[in-house]
Structures are given as C-alpha cells and as structure tokens.
Amino acid sequence: MNILRTILLLIPMVCFATESFSQFTIAKDKSKQYKPKGIDSINRIEITNDYFSPAKSLAERRQLRKDRNYIEFIPKLSINPIQAEYWKEGDVNSFTGFVHLYFKHVYTNAPFSVEYSFDSKYGLNSVDGDVFKNLDILNLNTQTTWQIKGQWSYALSSNFRSQFTKSYASRTDDRMVSKFMSPATIDVAGGLKYGKLPGTAIAVTISPIAGRILVVSSDTLSNQGRHGVEKGKHSKTSLGSSLNIGVDTKFAKNKLRYRSEVYAFTDWDETYTARWKNTLDLDITRFLSTSFYLEMYYDNLAVTPKKTIVAYYSSLTIALSYKFTNK
C-alpha cells in the first residue's frame, strides 16, 4: 500500500519538473502554382473618346446643312374680276389673273458655292370672254463660284430664258409671234465675280468670254426669219462678252425689298443686247403683298410691233403671297 502511495506522489512531481516539447509542421504544397503567361506583355489601352450620341450627330448634321444651304420660295397669286350687268356706264365684264413663282437655292462650302434660281410669271386678262395673254416669262439661272481672295471669285454662269405658251400679235390678230423655245436664249459665261458669298446687296460679274445660243424651234417662225435667226434656220450661235450686275437689299425693317438685275451681252460682230429687271416688294401682311415690276429690254435685232429703241413692261399688283425661307 505504501508503495502505491509513493508512486502516486511521484507522478505529479515528475510532470511539473520535466520540460515537454511538441512540434507541428504544415507540409508545403508541392503542386505548380498557375500564373497566366504573357500578362506583362499586354499593352493597356485607355479609352479617351467621348461617348457617341446618335442624336447629337444628327443635330450637328442638320445644323451643317442649314449653314451651307439657303432656300427661298415665294409664290404669288393676284386675281381681279370685274362684272357689271345693266350698269349705266356700260356692261363690261373683265378678269385679270397673275401668277408668280420665285425659287432660289444657294449652297456654300467655302471656297465653293453654287446658286440657282427659277423665276416665272404668267398673266391673263379677259374682256367679255375674249381671253388674251399679257405676261409669260420662264427664266432659269445658275452660277458656280470659287472664292479667290476676299470678295473676288471665279464664276461660271448660265441662263435659260423662254416662255410657256403661244403669243399672238394682238387681241384681234391671231398670227403667232412666239411660243415655247421660239425664241429661247441660252447664255453661258465665264469670268470674275465681285461680291460676298453666297450673296450680297450688290454683286458684279464680268465675263470676258461668253457664248449665246438663240433658238427658234418653230418652222413657221423660222421661215419668217424672226427673233434674229436667219430664214430657214433654227439657231444662231454668238461669241462675245457679258456683264451682270445684281442688287438684292431690304430696308424699312425688312418690309421693303428691292431686287434688280442688269445683264448686257455683246458679240464680236458688235450686236448688243441688254435687259434690266426691277422688282419692289412691300409685305403688307404675312399673306398679302404689293409688287411693282419694271423690265426694260434692248435688242437691235428684235422684231417688235412698233420699231423702238427700248421695249419695256411694267405692272403694279396686290397679291396673295407666302414667303418660305430656312434662314
């Protein structure tokens, strides 16, 4: 019993008197670690562009078209009917109608610019059912310019002038004197233009080299030798020089507009022609306007009812009108 007690007492003494050691080791992972190849050779790209907006791009294109293009369209209609029945001063019924269409388009992409216009007028009057035409003009103009310096530009111009329907000698004389393409005048000229682009109040075009083709397509008029074309022929070609002076200005708070154009052509055979057109417009309201028109024409080869140096036409009208422009 004493031996057992002695052993039990020695066990705690041995535990507290003896140092004990213990070690734990974490084994290394001998498997191959994954490392992407070539990761260091990839060039990083920084995105610096702004975000593309379709709406913004569309708006920019629209603004660019508006800046480069100028469009003007003016239709006019004037009607003046007079009817009288059992009127003591006389029963005379009359009707006067007038239509005017004006269109202009200018495209500018500096230093290049192109301008073309359409100007047509047609008028009828009727007295007691007898209808007679008193105005018939068809006019097309184009001009292409290339700016040199300042207000100077190279210019290439063309003009076509004719009429829509037949014209007769008088109300009581049904002899035909002109019709569509009889005559027709085609002018082509190249030279220099002085004036701001795409347009200015005053613009002058000087063309040292100009050509003119005079056409009479009607056999009847050709056989009569009318409009400066030899009998039996349908055209005449001339070479010479031309001068064009144009004015387009507004005043009185843009209520009044004055347009004028002088065109002169002389060929090398010393044949002279000149035309001066003047239009003064007064905008009374948005849909009502008053216009005064005066055109003077000189042609030493022209055949007129009465021999004269200068032929002219003038009119004063109050018309329904509407002006459309994109600027």
- Report if residue 126 sits inside a domain: yes
**Any idea which residue has 């190249």 for tokens?**
190
What per-residue string of b and e applies to 92-112 under the rule 16 or more CB within 10 Å gives b? eeeebbbbbebbbbbbbeeee
State residue 211's pLDDT score. 95
Which residue has tokens 């004719």? Answer: 162
| Domain-located, residue 58 | no
Residue 215 belongs to some domain of the structure:
yes
Q: Report the number of distinct structural domains present in the chain.
A: 1
Domain of 196, in residue numbers: 78-325
Q: Would residue 192 count as lying in a domain?
A: yes
Each residue's pLDDT tens digit, 292-312: 999 998 876 665 555 567 888
Among 257, 236, 208, CA closest to 301 = 236
Cα-based distances in Å from 58 to 53, 62, 170: 9, 6, 58
Residue 197 and residue 90: Cα distance in Å, rounded?
57
* 56 domain-assigned: no
Check whether the bond before 198 is cis (ω within 30° of 0). yes
Beta bridge partners of 160: 140, 186
- Min mean pLDDT across 10-14, 173-177, 228-232, 270-274 is at 10-14
- Give a yes or no: residue 33 inside a domain: no
Can you tell me the distance from the alpha carbon of 313 to that of 123, in angstroms, rounded to the nearest whole number?
Answer: 13
Please give the pLDDT value at position 52: 66
The pLDDT tens digits for 89-126 are 666 778 889 999 999 999 999 899 999 999 999 999 88
Q: What is the mean pLDDT of residues 256-281?
A: 91
**Contact call for residues 194 and 152 (beta carbons, < 8 A):** yes
The CA distance from 103 to 94, in Å, is 31
The single-letter code of the amino acid at 273 is T
Q: How many CB atoms lie within 10 A of CB 179?
A: 21
Q: What percent of the chain has pLDDT over 90?
A: 49
pLDDT tens string 15-72: 544 454 445 455 555 555 555 555 455 566 555 556 667 888 888 888 888 889 999 9
Query: For residues 319 and 289, is the Cβ–Cβ distance under 8 A?
Result: yes
In a domain? residue 226: yes
Question: What confidence score (pLDDT) does residue 35 get?
Answer: 53
Rounded to whole angstroms, the maximal C-alpha distance in the chain is 173
pTM above 0.85, yes or no: no
More confident residue, 200 or 285: 285
Q: What confidence tier does 161 reach under pLDDT thresholds 50, 70, 90?
A: very high
Residue 30, domain member (yes or no): no
Check residue 88 and give its pLDDT: 61
What pLDDT digit, counting tens, does each position of 219-253 carry? Answer: 999 998 888 888 999 999 999 999 999 999 988 88
Helix (H, G, I), strand (E, B) or coil at 59: helix
Q: What is the mean pLDDT of the chain?
A: 83
Q: Looking at residue 280, what is its pLDDT?
A: 95
- CATH code for position 274: 2.40.230
Cα(244)–Cα(159) distance, rounded to whole angstroms?
11
| Percent above pLDDT 70 for the chain | 77
Backbone phi, then psi, for 27, in 5-degree steps?
-65, 140
CB atoms within 10 A of CB 157: 22
